[in-house]
Chain A
Amino acid sequence: MTKSELINRLAERFPQLGAKDADYAVKVLLDALSAALVSGDRIEVRGFGSFSLNYRPPRIGRNPKSGEKVNVPEKYVPHFKAGKELRERVDLGLTKP
């Protein structure tokens, strides 16, 4: 399912809103999720999961071509942990046809 398919499904579920509002609503939601992570906030959605940042300490890496040592600075990467309901529903999908 792509973003535009998600928008279509939501537009069908909210016929009173029209496609433009469904489109804008998805944009507002995704922008808010991104903005929260960018400023280091956690996101918690019961039954779905939580998003947070994971810290990666600085390390000495190597350029695989030249073998030269390079300093890789510390960084933060987005992380997602599926909630209980999502985990269970996804796993059920394995046994369904």
Chain B
Amino acid sequence: MTLTKSELADLLFEKVGLNKREAKDMVEAFFDEVKSALEEGDDVKLSGFCNFQLRDKPQRPGRNPKTGEEIPITARRVVTFHASQKLKMAVEEFRRGNTQ
């Protein structure tokens, strides 16, 4: 199963009592605010769930795997995800209780 924005909006409708329009907009705004913060170079810390950290990577040599041609991989900024201890433990404990 896959969780998507529409199921998240349904939850806000059912649990928080937002109307359908507000629920959809809130889900959109939630991810948009996280994206905006990261775009502005600000790390995001969602206590109990995860941290999103930014890393600046210097240029490094690369290769086109098809042609073997050498091309530099340009300097870039990337997002790294770190699950919180709480989330990691919850995943491990649940998996252990449901071993195949």
Residues in A lying within 8 Å of B, measured CB to CB? 1-3, 6, 9-10, 13-14, 16-17, 21, 24-26, 28-30, 32-34, 36-48, 53, 73, 75-80, 82, 85-87, 89-94, 96
B2 at the interface (CB under 8 A from A): yes
* Structural contact, A43 and B3, CB atoms closer than 8 A: yes
* Structural contact, B88 and A45, CB atoms closer than 8 A: no
Residues in B lying within 8 Å of A, measured CB to CB? 1-5, 7-8, 11-12, 15-18, 22, 25-27, 29-31, 33-35, 37-50, 52, 54, 56, 75-79, 81, 83, 87-88, 90-92, 94-96
Within 8 Å CB of A6, what residues of B? 30, 33-34, 37, 44, 46
Within 8 Å CB of B54, what residues of A? 90, 93
* Structural contact, A94 and B56, CB atoms closer than 8 A: yes
Give the CA-CA distance A30 to B84 in the complex, in Å.
12
Give the CA-CA distance A10 to B91 in the complex, in Å.
28
Residue from the set B16, B29, B45, B47 with the largest chain A CB neighbour count within 10 Å: B16
Smallest distance from the beta carbon of A87 to chain B beta carbons, Å?
7
* Structural contact, A10 and B50, CB atoms closer than 8 A: no
Within 8 Å CB of B79, what residues of A? 82, 86-87, 90
